Structure 1
Amino acid sequence: MLRRLRTALISAALVLPLPAGVAAPAAAATAATPADPQATPAASQELNWLAQLPNRADHRVLSGFFGGYSGSTFSADEKVASQLSTVRSTTGQTPGLVACDYGAGSTIDTSCNAGLIDWARQGGLVSVSFHAPNPARPVGGLYVHLNDFSQLTDPTTAVGKQWRATLDQVAAGLQQLAAQNVPVLFRPLHEMNSTYQQAFWWSGQQHADFVAVWRNMYTYLTQSKGLHNLIWVYSALCDTPDPAGYYPGAAYADVVGLDCYASDPAAAQGYDALTALGKPFAFAEIGAPTDNNLNPPAADKNTFDFGQWATAIHHRYPATTYFLSWNDSWGLADQTPAGATALMNDPWTVNLGNVDLAATPTAAAGPPAPADPVDLLSGFETGTEGWTAYQQLNGPWQVNEWASQGTHSLKADVNLSAQRQVFLNRTAKTDLSAYASISAAARTAPWGNQAGGTTAKLYVRTGPTGAWYDSGATAVGSNGAMLTLPLAGIPDLSDVTEIGVDFTPAPGATGQSSVYVDDVTAARPTALLEDFETGTDGWTAYQQLNGPWQVKEWASHGSYSLKADVMLDQQKEAVLNRNYGGARTDLSGRLTLAADARTAPWGNQAGGTLAKLYIRTGPNCAWYDDRGQFVDSNGTRLFLNLAGVPDLDQVCELGVDFVPAPGATGQSSVYVDDVTVR
């Protein structure tokens, strides 16, 4: 939050003292286990609750707000004249998460703890970050790069001793929260990948040094200080190279996130790289776009539409567990009221008063992953959309009493005592041959004696005989459940004659109840563009030393990859690409381009080679890239978000641009493999 802090510091200096389309399906959520094996039950419960939010049939995302800097601008009282009060009066909602910052770049202050403890008692969640003073002070400032960063792990050095003193002050504040059994989303050393001129002193360090400092800090706070109430949040800057390159490892982080001030939230970069790490994902900061990443430009003040974030989370970032709006002119309180209202009242948004940590659903194991592109088959926002029912008591109707997405679903009354299967279905010819799976949200009403519980099957019937294929029985209740039917191996998918949900009451169920269906979608599969198993697949190279060739010495999938030799001394970008020439290729409707990139272990890579996955589109072959990630001999998966990229039906080129670091010398090689599109 480097750009927000500058304004806060100026204000504090002056007035001190002063008293934050088509919906993609959720990514598979993990039953989260804290990195800290000694995590308190409250911290474990909170982390698991957050991790499961995207997997709920009613798909939820926790709202958050930055309350301010401790001892300066912090206020967590939504009932007084604070920015939280403005959010509440404007939107009718109060965020479920409030954050405080212990440091404003020169001191550590933990007096906001009283407000955080009160917030937790109201049922809210709390987060703590700290703009740590530069341990090289008084010479170094918040935005002065620390050259002795590796010494932070050694308390016998001058900077190491100062850093340890800072951690002791932070620990004292966190221990006050621990004493009150308050779990903390703890977000240290954020935006570590920033490349801006006024990046923090800890930003842009060597990867290995940063990881060592993070792990040392983690061990010191959890073991030496006994802080087991912390949920560790790794938060990089979006639209900036290498968001995952500083990741300290699964044993040292619980949540991965992005700080993001994008003018077009749906086109922000970094989500795919971070969700691939397998941890719950969050937007740890969001706000109005910034000018030179420091302050909102005058033209954008009070004009940003936060409703864009609701749309982007639905369409592009369905694994999001929470978002946290910054305050001041970047935040919900100062931008368009309609946009703030849309975000805070979105059906997915969980606000204060609706945080129920005991309502943690059971989720299948597996890391979050970028969602496949989907088409909405039926959302019931415009009516029953051709759906009927069989063996129901009454209905079906379009209702707004429950919805997994939007505001409406399809409902029918059922007689449980009759012990009959009830079907909600649409009988019409549909072509599903281009899809990998279909999904639907199903629910039962809370009334009636469900006995052992109602089960539901999502099914299709295909071909001239109407052959039946279903997802298998899944228990459903009043919280809802997501049903998914893989389509691989099902014949006659071009001739689907019926799609529906079969509800089967349990033996002994009695009385009347109701069943619901919503958000029926079809997901398209990942398409392989090139894997180099049969040759170079039309790829060429630019500014290479030799190549490219199909080689067997490394592959991320299969047996082969594409390789080219490069001369690092020349400090020239080397490009491996495929140029479609006048023919072009059509990627319209696709959401994510991905590729694996690698450098050889030989040659002096200096600060590391940066690889950018890019695409060129339209009549002028305009360039769009992923801002880049650092790659090494282990290989790295690159992702390019295609949302917002124009002219995807006119792709003239795609490839990977390898940029050597200043000072790199000698000869090396670069590789590309497994180029896919979703």
Structure 2
Amino acid sequence: MTLTAGFAAAPAARAHTTDPSDPQASAATRDVRDWLTHLSNRAHNRVVAGQFAGYSGKTFSLTQVEELKAQTGAYPGLVGCDYGHDGNAIDHTCNATLKDWSAAGGLVTVSAHLPNPDQPDWSGLFTKLPTFDRLTDRGSGTGQRWHAELDRVAEGLRELADANVPVLFRPLHEMNGDSFWWSAQNPQTFAEVWRDMYTYLTDVKGLHNLLWVYAPDCGYGNRSGFYPGGAYADVVGLDCYVREPAAVQGYDELVALGKPFAFAEIGPRSGSGGTIETPLDYGKWIDAIRTRFPATAYFMAWNDQWRPTANIGAGRLMNDPWTIVRGEVATAARTEGVPAPVGTPVPLADFESDTQGWGGYRVLAGPWSVTEWSAQGGRSLKADIDLAAPEAYLNRVAPLDLSAYRALTATVRTAEWGNHATGTTAKFYVRTGAGMAWYDGGAIRIGPNGAVLRLDLSRIADLRDVREIGVLFTSAPGASGRTAVYVDDVAAIAPPAALAGFESGTDGWTGYLTATAPVSTADWASEGVRSLRAEVDPAAPEAYLNRRANLDLTGRRVLSAAVRAAAGSGTAKLYVKTTASNTWYDAGAVPVGPDPRTLTLNLSGVGSPQDVREIGVQFERRGGPGQGSVFVDDVTVR
């Protein structure tokens, strides 16, 4: 699902394996791409911290990276180098450091402020190239000079490939802006140049260690208009130099492209000559990622006066529970997505840091994030209203996809003061489509004690195109004076979901001590039309059907699975194993036979639920001759 900026929501579960754009990508490169895709499934350690280290052969150095380590106690998980920038030079002497960094467990990214093929001097970098369409024409002088530049870049990337270093390669960045010779070109022509460059470096030069990063400027529009297509990109991101990270635009537009998302450059806004207007609190960046941009896989802070240690908040940025630093980059450890089960609230807004994009309409003052009342956490959204006016709104106007949910909830209240007459009422509402069609959950009388509003989404059309979400407060006849209204804990309720249903395969489940490998079968099902079946030998004391995978079950209450045995008798246990020590937790043995049974495991007693390594069913000795079948189906968590 795609959720708009302003709402912190759990992403949809990721597929077990996601492939890079290059079918011949190296195994290490595939691992990085798949790992980045799965990061947003985690409760913590889900966004890689990065630091740009300079221009190769000119300013590149780990001095500022060491400064970051000295100030915060942690190295960034990713380091960046630029192969270009200075006149007609293309340099990749930073490779030696990048190889060492990768060997030490870090990720690397390479950008390239390449020379203007028609003006190979310093000024040409910032002069729009009028012959941009000739870059793909190897018979033109422009095309020949461009491919000579690519040859030089390929030499550096080949050195990293030979050392088995995956590279997040970010060429022709900020193409939607007006800074560089490749900027503000015809979008279709730009896409053609990108695809030609991709094919040249990947197929002709044989570079299979690249993950291609498409990164427009968040300060300009048409951010996805230059996109070359999913077959030519692996990561999408934004370059952002802003005063307020929470105000960044373009996140939803990029996330909708279906690739891992990153903030490929971040830093404070600067004026002429690169002077910083106001020091940036980098702690605001991790706050914004947590509350507004939760699909972010990594960020890279720029160096020099833009770096975190030259501003403020570096410690909060690097030491936040979401931040991945060097030593925590483990590309083989993927966390599988757990779809939100029935009744599990997915937070949309909690107002803990600010108003999170919510505004007021027909209010006297506000709204503000305040500490004087909250339904959950320490803050809520407040506005002052005139009770003599018929209505007031607290709302968020922005695109939102709610198609994955069945209901919305919010907790609201009024202040004690003011003449409420027979009582103020509140409605939770959404507006959808270009026509802004209105749907609400009905009026509920509210007061200082608070009330929970609920809006059933099952009857609403255009849930993929919600344009506004909010609460309408209505005064009673005869009400007067000034009062305050509050909203908190805005959440979406997810529909039923399963960890495994076996409708199209084994869903990654395998067998241990079984007579045959498990298969998806139509012989029996507790839900849908298929289940998982394996043959077991009754003479064997036990057999297992299980799935080895990293799962985060934080906040889940119950794990369940339907099981049966085709013949004979025996018992079954539903279990999980957690952490690297594979600590075992089970629900106890339950008799099983031809009649289906549902096994449940109370997760409240499971240690380290954020680090589940295995889930499965243990079948113990059964009576009866010959082989028999055991079945598992409908593995769910709620």
TM-score per shorter chain, which class?
Answer: 0.5 to 0.7
Structure 1 contact 501–517 (Cα < 8 Å) conserved: no
Structure 1 contact 238–260 (Cα < 8 Å) conserved: yes
Structure 2 contact 45–324 (Cα < 8 Å) conserved: no
* Distance apart, 1:304 and its partner CA: 1.5
* Distance apart, 1:374 and its partner CA: 3.9
Q: For residue 68 of structure 2, what is the aligned residue in structure 1? A: 87
Change (3 A) 1:362 1:478: closer
Q: For residue 573 of structure 2, what is the aligned residue in structure 1? A: 507
Q: For residue 544 of structure 1, what is the aligned residue in structure 2? A: none
**1:296 is aligned to 2:279:** no
Mapping for residues 590-605 of structure 1, pairs under 5 Å: none
1:475 & 1:152 partners in 2: Cα distance? Answer: 50
* Distance apart, 1:238 and its partner CA: 0.5
2:574 & 2:40 partners in 1: Cα distance? Answer: 33
Q: For residue 67 of structure 1, what is the aligned residue in structure 2? A: 53
* Distance apart, 1:58 and its partner CA: 2.9
Structure 1 contact 191–259 (Cα < 8 Å) conserved: yes
User: Which residue, out of 106, 116, 130, partners 1:147?
Assistant: 130
**1:330 is aligned to 2:306:** yes
Change (3 A) 1:503 1:379: farther
User: Which residue, out of 53, 58, 79, partners 2:44?
Assistant: 58
1:145 & 1:329 partners in 2: Cα distance? Answer: 27
Helix, strand or coil: the match of 2:188? helix
* Distance apart, 1:380 and its partner CA: 9.2
Helix, strand or coil: the match of 1:286? strand
Structure 1 contact 296–330 (Cα < 8 Å) conserved: no
1:221 maps to a residue whose letter is: L
- Which piece of structure 1 moves more, 428-437 or 99-108? 428-437
1:476 & 1:103 partners in 2: Cα distance? Answer: 44
Q: For residue 131 of structure 1, what is the aligned residue in structure 2? A: 113
Helix, strand or coil: the match of 2:308? coil
* Max Rg structure: 2
Change (3 A) 1:356 1:430: farther
Structure 2 contact 14–336 (Cα < 8 Å) conserved: no
Structure 2 contact 585–606 (Cα < 8 Å) conserved: no
**1:360 is aligned to 2:337:** no
Structure 1 contact 192–202 (Cα < 8 Å) conserved: yes
Q: For residue 342 of structure 1, what is the aligned residue in structure 2? A: 316
Structure 2 contact 223–253 (Cα < 8 Å) conserved: yes
**1:239 is aligned to 2:219:** yes
Query: Any idea what the Cα deviations from partners look like across 1:336-377, whole Å, max 9, x if unmatched?
Result: 2xx110010011000001111110133489xxxxx9824599
Q: For residue 318 of structure 1, what is the aligned residue in structure 2? A: 294
Give unmatched runs, 5+ long, in structure 2.
1-5, 340-345, 353-373, 379-448, 456-490, 497-509, 513-545, 562-571, 576-583, 587-604, 611-638
Helix, strand or coil: the match of 2:36? helix
* Distance apart, 1:333 and its partner CA: 2.2
Structure 1 contact 23–376 (Cα < 8 Å) conserved: no
Mapping for residues 417-566 of structure 1, pairs under 5 Å: 431=452, 433-434=454-455, 436-437=492-493, 480-481=552-553, 501-503=557-559, 507=573, 514-515=606-607
- Which piece of structure 1 moves more, 184-193 or 96-105? 96-105
1:166 & 1:478 partners in 2: Cα distance? Answer: 43
Helix, strand or coil: the match of 1:103? coil
1:280 & 1:481 partners in 2: Cα distance? Answer: 22
Helix, strand or coil: the match of 1:212? helix
* Distance apart, 1:22 and its partner CA: 8.5
* Distance apart, 1:270 and its partner CA: 1.1
Structure 2 contact 239–265 (Cα < 8 Å) conserved: yes
1:507 maps to a residue whose letter is: K
* Distance apart, 1:121 and its partner CA: 0.3
Change (3 A) 1:248 1:439: same
Structure 2 contact 335–552 (Cα < 8 Å) conserved: no
Helix, strand or coil: the match of 2:573? coil
User: Which residue, out of 61, 81, 95, partners 1:113?
Assistant: 95
User: Which residue, out of 191, 196, 221, partners 2:201?
Assistant: 221
Give unmatched runs, 5+ long, in structure 1.
1-20, 77-81, 366-370, 383-427, 441-450, 454-473, 484-499, 519-678
User: Which residue, out of 102, 122, 141, partners 2:104?
Assistant: 122
Q: For residue 394 of structure 1, what is the aligned residue in structure 2? A: none
Q: For residue 278 of structure 1, what is the aligned residue in structure 2? A: 258
1:52 & 1:43 partners in 2: Cα distance? Answer: 15
Q: For residue 242 of structure 2, what is the aligned residue in structure 1? A: 262
Q: For residue 103 of structure 1, what is the aligned residue in structure 2? A: 84
Change (3 A) 1:364 1:231: farther
2:246 & 2:298 partners in 1: Cα distance? Answer: 16
1:478 & 1:227 partners in 2: Cα distance? Answer: 31
1:28 & 1:230 partners in 2: Cα distance? Answer: 25
1:228 maps to a residue whose letter is: H
* Distance apart, 1:137 and its partner CA: 2.0
2:511 & 2:274 partners in 1: Cα distance? Answer: 58
Q: For residue 48 of structure 1, what is the aligned residue in structure 2? A: 34
Q: For residue 557 of structure 1, what is the aligned residue in structure 2? A: none
1:323 maps to a residue whose letter is: F
Helix, strand or coil: the match of 2:329? coil
2:30 & 2:222 partners in 1: Cα distance? Answer: 29
Provide the aligned C-alpha RMSD in A.
3.6
2:316 & 2:148 partners in 1: Cα distance? Answer: 44
1:221 & 1:363 partners in 2: Cα distance? Answer: 34
Structure 1 contact 56–481 (Cα < 8 Å) conserved: no
Q: For residue 23 of structure 2, what is the aligned residue in structure 1? A: 37
1:508 & 1:316 partners in 2: Cα distance? Answer: 37
2:280 & 2:79 partners in 1: Cα distance? Answer: 21
1:62 maps to a residue whose letter is: V
1:288 maps to a residue whose letter is: P
Helix, strand or coil: the match of 2:558? strand
**1:180 is aligned to 2:160:** no
Structure 1 contact 84–333 (Cα < 8 Å) conserved: no
Helix, strand or coil: the match of 1:342? helix
* Distance apart, 1:92 and its partner CA: 0.9
Structure 1 contact 60–348 (Cα < 8 Å) conserved: yes
Provide the TM-score with structure 1 as the length reference. Answer: 0.53
* Distance apart, 1:102 and its partner CA: 0.4
Structure 1 contact 264–308 (Cα < 8 Å) conserved: yes
Q: For residue 462 of structure 1, what is the aligned residue in structure 2? A: none
1:143 & 1:159 partners in 2: Cα distance? Answer: 17
Structure 2 contact 7–291 (Cα < 8 Å) conserved: yes
Q: For residue 25 of structure 1, what is the aligned residue in structure 2? A: 10
Structure 1 contact 58–479 (Cα < 8 Å) conserved: no
* Distance apart, 1:511 and its partner CA: 7.0
Query: Any idea what the Cα deviations from partners look like across 1:566-591, whole Å, max 9, x if unmatched?
Result: xxxxxxxxxxxxxxxxxxxxxxxxxx
* Distance apart, 1:208 and its partner CA: 1.3
* Distance apart, 1:56 and its partner CA: 1.7
Structure 1 contact 134–141 (Cα < 8 Å) conserved: yes
* Distance apart, 1:239 and its partner CA: 2.0
**1:156 is aligned to 2:163:** no
1:127 & 1:193 partners in 2: Cα distance? Answer: 21
* Distance apart, 1:214 and its partner CA: 0.4
Helix, strand or coil: the match of 2:90? coil
1:150 & 1:319 partners in 2: Cα distance? Answer: 35
Helix, strand or coil: the match of 2:109? strand
* Distance apart, 1:72 and its partner CA: 1.2
**1:305 is aligned to 2:281:** yes
1:157 & 1:308 partners in 2: Cα distance? Answer: 48
* Distance apart, 1:436 and its partner CA: 3.8
* Distance apart, 1:158 and its partner CA: 1.0
